[in-house]
Structure 1
């Protein structure tokens, strides 16, 4: 899991004697009867639909209608799991799907369970908000967790959960008490909630009560992996650990820990924000330590910022693993303290100690803390306060034009002071849906507003799909639990336009997301929008949106929480989660002159020009923010297929990239133009792939830079602050007015390159010299990235990160390297394996070397790509040596050239040049997947497709064509570069890095 830490602690309170921080299918549901609760959602008519689910499918299911008693006596496990599973859900062996969404509702009561509640994909598990139901483990409870959010079935690998955690989207659990106190202290380690997860997910309003007996092994929350998430309003009582968490980036707000052994244990993190955390009478507050020594950790590991920390009888605030006091405690408030690399604005310089706290604009505060507000559940209101859109004539069937029906009910309900309730469904609209001041909208299981038609398809005349207020209007709006999306070509669609200026209580948008393509009904899926890595032509039918969200110049005072503005990089419905190419122009654009915005736990991904852009605005709180560059860039380069619109401050790449080499014209992660008081508490800005190559920028062979720049500062700027900026796959982390302020190579960490503190007080900062080639080690939110540290021995090639299992080793033979485990390096392991007669070397857990001549026990490339090959080598901290149950694998080429082909009629042509940006053969063949790649398989698939040339590359890639393209020729170094054994047959050669083992069929010439 690595040992990178990038943590921001804001507005925390620690009390009593805790140390502060350590550093280093079933039948359809029966008819629903009215319940006794006053909770409006329990009593409202259940009319939600899933338009693409099987006939008779029901979205809403009440666990009592499936036999659960909730009486505190009956074992309700089977009934609850039947309610969740009913209707043919996406569960075991299903990678993902939006077709079968579900709300699983628990009325008040005590529900005994003896084994875990098994979550299914696209599920909201909700309890009565007026009287929280209790889920209570029996004394003989057996399982990983009371609620298991991603089960380890062991179907493909016992070390992998059912879903790839970085692809688990759109789910919630809220309004529960979890009780583990009946379990004996001697019981095996058990979690309240097991929650590896990704974007658009949340836990809210949950209390976990654990044993306080000595020696108990109970943990309230366990998150071991994933790519984002949001937690709020959670309480943990007792237990060994309150929350044990590791994920790419997370936002955790308003958490309370009482009487835990340790409140929080932080595993691997890239960027993390704890906001408003209260820790009371715990032995230890937050543990972000590592068991590794200082010479095994990257320069910026354990980057930490603490701000506004209140201590009450806490003897030590920050302590090292050696026991040394880094920051004394007592009864006091720590204004700000940190450690890591800083730029103010020039750098880097290393620091550890007191720093000046951010200057916080008063408009962002409630007292001394930043304003926050949890998603409203309206639990005090009667059901008569809600108006259903389906009862008002909207269909939600994804076919009927629901524009008029929706507009009518929004207008009438708002005028009457009622809340608009969007039943589950897909609501197609063909013109702008307008939300007036005073409106409150709440969705059931992420209902979708789906734009469609020519009205939204003019790039030169963009139109909002949903417009909140008109320019100049004032008032307040509350909006929660919905998705805005597009259908087909929508080149002029602005999914959300926010014009409203709010005074007093801010407007709010909670769990409202945009989704462009990648799901059933979008008409922007794999069939319509496959990747086109071998072609520079733009598929204009896949221009899905102009902009995701525009906060206009007249808007102000908006609180946004847990929002994901996503252009799909893969097809959620596809059995293989195949990548797709969809074009959307811009992400989140804020140009409000009055400002005052809170972006709490937000992410914006895969837009062509930029993800976040703050222009001529002010007073912004943001944390965590997270971005990804489109996977297809630089094919094409930005702004293609859009045109630059200077009226909305579009970046002009033709100007900014003039004279620059490398990959310049690619989407910005963050732009701040002419603004002031922008306070960012953790930002993860990632560039994982180029041209959908599936290898990433840390494959051990290619230069580790997908793009040149990712943060752009321009114009007159005042009070710009970023805590814990993590960047991946970029040469320069920060530029200002075209000058480099921070090179990523100067801030290396295990994954993202991290700057703990960036501060630009006013005006323009200085410049740093151009950086050398980036040494970023890049992570991924997809499962296709391949390798980490480059091999240093001639003849060895990196194959990437492979799964392993102590009960069935992928490589069967462990060998000792010279100097022992403490001297482990990639080179040392390769040398030891070669000396022992092996051709495959694998490094695991920092200090283990494993060898073989073939892969054993079904071992293969890890399903989560490089995500868990994160441990640095014990003898070479600049290299990566696998992880827990993960091997960095290298293979020794056993031949100097490609062997004769086994397929009749094919002739070997030798080793040829290739390039990801200028392919020698422009068609791609995929015979049975990359792990099965052989010379014969590639030849066969190319022949079946009508091609006479077949080329194999990088051990597992197959390309086809009828002639060589883009000036590629026979390799100038002969067969030296074709040195990788085929993934499916180690006796054959399948090219190399940017090298093709080329074959021709029959009399074809080259």
Structure 2
């Protein structure tokens, strides 16, 4: 009996000691431009880190981050050439100074037993993790150009630092295609504590999810253009969230517990002007908290639309005041109850503007988008229960990933074998050139290493009149689901007929999932769309055929349905990431994200689509769309050329006809639409930032004081529309904020906010 007990104990310990599959899998990713011997995978214990809770591991971790010496650090603008995955096995790693993350770095901990980064008592630095250090008076990287980085699966602990000494868990000014996931911040809970868990002062985000903050003076102090933040939990913080400034913000699945203040959005002021533009909170809870939200907005606030709030499906439990003014006035009563829907700001229902501060009718949500009474928002799978043998490597299948070799057959082979054997494709880092469509069957699961790239190239993608998918998910009529995470689909060289991602699957049950799955068109080494090929052209409408890079970014076809998309950046590059000064380029991608699914059921959480020639988002003849903080930017070169050439309007896919629609319209009308919605129903957009910053590379047109006239129109609603709900819409650089059937119904002059104009609620029943 004793032997049996002993044997069971040994087996149990062996099961508990099982490593995360990412630690065990063979690492053979290649960085074609990183230099001979460049290593992508780095386990900090291979560089001397102990993780024993006693040894100072700072220098070992920095060696893992920085060796060899060509990582992008001080003085480097940006690069994709030297990616790295820095892995932390379970353990407690003592830190005495900041860990600076170089550009294009992923920090990944073991999700089955999250590693702890714990500050020593004498810690010095601006954050245990510093994502953008101040070597001078300015941060090292331009905060709006920080892309392709991630931290996930950690505990960050500042409790050794005296409570009254300033300390920050993470400094993370960031932009698109970045994420923080599954991180816990532990801080002292004393009355004199001044610690901050997460500090962001600038950037153009972005997405984060599954973060927990315990203790501290403030859990998160945040300033950024816009963000989607999902599943944040705050426990025993003095103030859970300080909004320093923003244009718009969406909080989804927020939980605030035992705090004095939940969200303080009154702190951002410049004299009498508010700096916090707006925020949306949905499917959230506030418990045992004195004041839920503190606002500085009054009837005479400036700008007039600043400080907008939209609340929907908020559970209160023992809350003193749900929404309070900084002067102590109660705006929305607290207690123990549900706030079905409430807002303040400017609204159009559908006419306006009306200034309001009141309860409103909650959205009529459709069941296909829901899990219970909340929107369905699954966390990114990390496959913690699988072992390394459950993954098939693209490199093992013969793919080179060198940016030159035709890897079509090898990539297709590994995807087919993985789907038939119910295994997961591991797309080792590399640039995988494909000369024909990659067909992805139902049941496929693909995980990339450090944003590996599949690049469509060659004759198959040249015909604009017969476009072809680079990455085709299912075929029309097929049913099933797929899961993709952490890789990119792109093109190499001219590809005017390339649809980067075509989605055809009908769900038939649980939706498919795209997490941190991006498309990137140009602007990086290996793309053949860089300064030497496509330097920006100012003052000319001439179009260089070798810089026509794609027909469409993402197409969800009529037969498709059921897709959850999270933190997907669909981008036509505006600048050369490898250039020492991020010099601008002129390249052309026709259409951004087009959803024409007749059954619908699409969720777009924390995504962006930028710089496409005709439109960035288009929803046509569809229904059941849920979106959080959609972000768009018009091409920087427009209106030279404008949106009429080089992509002829295709009525079969309901392209905009700018020749007809712009007849008689003043200003730059034939510019890309930000969001275009046609003949659709049950659309729920909780936050959108649609921006036009340039007129042929000149920014003079975008500030309000200069007329906000980079283009005439930016968001279009056309045809038969039912149950359309747009909450927290911010626009920049457009004369008309919303156009309906060719008539401009909302103007920026009537809805001045911070740097953007804002409408907190637009609704068509």
Q: TM-score, normalized by length of structure 1?
A: 0.71
1:413 is aligned to: 418
* Matching of residue 473 in structure 1 with residue 450 in structure 2: no
- Cα deviation, residue 730, structure 1: 0.5
- Cα deviation, residue 229, structure 1: 1.4
Question: Do the aligned partners of 2:539 and 2:640 also contact (CA within 8 Å) in 1?
Answer: no
1:47 is aligned to: 28
The whole-number CA distance in structure 2 between the counterparts of 1:486 and 1:37 is 39
The whole-number CA distance in structure 1 between the counterparts of 2:541 and 2:710 is 18
2:251 is aligned to: 274
The whole-number CA distance in structure 2 between the counterparts of 1:142 and 1:697 is 41
Quickly say closer, same or farther: Cα 1:703–1:213, change in 2 above 3 A: closer
Of 116, 133, 142, the match for 2:124:
142
2:205 is aligned to: 228
3-state SS, counterpart of residue 445 of structure 1: strand
2:343 is aligned to: 338
3-state SS, counterpart of residue 647 of structure 1: helix
Higher deviation after alignment, 589-598 or 742-751: 742-751
The whole-number CA distance in structure 1 between the counterparts of 2:585 and 2:433 is 23
1:463 is aligned to: 468
Question: Do the aligned partners of 1:533 and 1:693 also contact (CA within 8 Å) in 2?
Answer: no
Question: Do the aligned partners of 2:701 and 2:709 also contact (CA within 8 Å) in 1?
Answer: no
After TM superposition, what 4+ stretches of structure 1 lie above 6 angstroms from structure 2?
none
Of 636, 660, 663, the match for 1:658:
663
* Matching of residue 112 in structure 1 with residue 94 in structure 2: yes
3-state SS, counterpart of residue 339 of structure 2: strand
1:502-651 equivalences under 5 Å are 502-651=507-656
2:160 is aligned to: 182
1:320-335 equivalences under 5 Å are 320-335=325-340
Quickly say closer, same or farther: Cα 1:584–1:250, change in 2 above 3 A: same
The whole-number CA distance in structure 2 between the counterparts of 1:560 and 1:681 is 15
Deviations 1:918-971 (A, max 9, x none): xxxxxxxxxxxxxxxxxxxxxxxxxxxxxxxxxxxxxxxxxxxxxxxxxxxxxx
Question: Do the aligned partners of 2:40 and 2:84 also contact (CA within 8 Å) in 1?
Answer: yes
* Matching of residue 450 in structure 1 with residue 432 in structure 2: no
The whole-number CA distance in structure 1 between the counterparts of 2:367 and 2:460 is 42
3-state SS, counterpart of residue 247 of structure 2: strand
1:927-1006 equivalences under 5 Å are none
* Matching of residue 495 in structure 1 with residue 483 in structure 2: no
1:38 is aligned to: 19
2:148 is aligned to: 170
Of 211, 216, 224, the match for 1:247:
224
- Cα deviation, residue 699, structure 1: 8.8
Of 261, 284, 292, the match for 2:261:
284
Which stretches in structure 1 are left out of the alignment for 5+ residues?
A: 1-34, 762-1006
* Matching of residue 211 in structure 1 with residue 188 in structure 2: yes
1:672 is aligned to: 677
Quickly say closer, same or farther: Cα 1:122–1:106, change in 2 above 3 A: same
- Cα deviation, residue 37, structure 1: 4.0
* Matching of residue 84 in structure 1 with residue 65 in structure 2: yes
- Cα deviation, residue 505, structure 1: 1.6
- Cα deviation, residue 696, structure 1: 4.5
Q: How many pairs are equivalent? A: 721
Deviations 1:521-545 (A, max 9, x none): 0000011111111322111110000
- Cα deviation, residue 324, structure 1: 0.6
Question: Do the aligned partners of 1:207 and 1:235 also contact (CA within 8 Å) in 2?
Answer: yes
- Cα deviation, residue 704, structure 1: 2.9
1:913-928 equivalences under 5 Å are none
* Matching of residue 422 in structure 1 with residue 427 in structure 2: yes
Question: Do the aligned partners of 1:542 and 1:583 also contact (CA within 8 Å) in 2?
Answer: yes
The whole-number CA distance in structure 2 between the counterparts of 1:132 and 1:289 is 35
The whole-number CA distance in structure 2 between the counterparts of 1:391 and 1:566 is 30
The whole-number CA distance in structure 1 between the counterparts of 2:232 and 2:248 is 18
Deviations 1:70-123 (A, max 9, x none): 111110001101110112101110010000000000011100000011110000
1:900 is aligned to: none
Question: Do the aligned partners of 1:390 and 1:423 also contact (CA within 8 Å) in 2?
Answer: yes
Question: Do the aligned partners of 2:540 and 2:641 also contact (CA within 8 Å) in 1?
Answer: no
Q: CA RMSD in A?
A: 1.1
Of 17, 42, 47, the match for 1:61:
42
Of 754, 758, 771, the match for 2:758:
754
- Cα deviation, residue 693, structure 1: 2.2
The whole-number CA distance in structure 2 between the counterparts of 1:639 and 1:534 is 17
Larger radius of gyration: 1
Question: Do the aligned partners of 2:595 and 2:618 also contact (CA within 8 Å) in 1?
Answer: yes
3-state SS, counterpart of residue 140 of structure 1: strand
3-state SS, counterpart of residue 447 of structure 1: strand
Of 736, 739, 742, the match for 2:743:
739
Question: Do the aligned partners of 2:708 and 2:732 also contact (CA within 8 Å) in 1?
Answer: no
The whole-number CA distance in structure 2 between the counterparts of 1:694 and 1:731 is 15
Question: Do the aligned partners of 1:678 and 1:721 also contact (CA within 8 Å) in 2?
Answer: yes
The whole-number CA distance in structure 2 between the counterparts of 1:407 and 1:173 is 30
3-state SS, counterpart of residue 451 of structure 2: coil
- Cα deviation, residue 698, structure 1: 2.4
2:113 is aligned to: 131
Of 716, 729, 743, the match for 1:712:
716
The whole-number CA distance in structure 1 between the counterparts of 2:715 and 2:362 is 22
1:996 is aligned to: none
3-state SS, counterpart of residue 178 of structure 1: strand
Deviations 1:743-776 (A, max 9, x none): 1110011211000100011xxxxxxxxxxxxxxx
3-state SS, counterpart of residue 108 of structure 1: coil
Of 235, 245, 268, the match for 1:258:
235
Question: Do the aligned partners of 2:703 and 2:732 also contact (CA within 8 Å) in 1?
Answer: no
Higher deviation after alignment, 177-186 or 506-515: 177-186
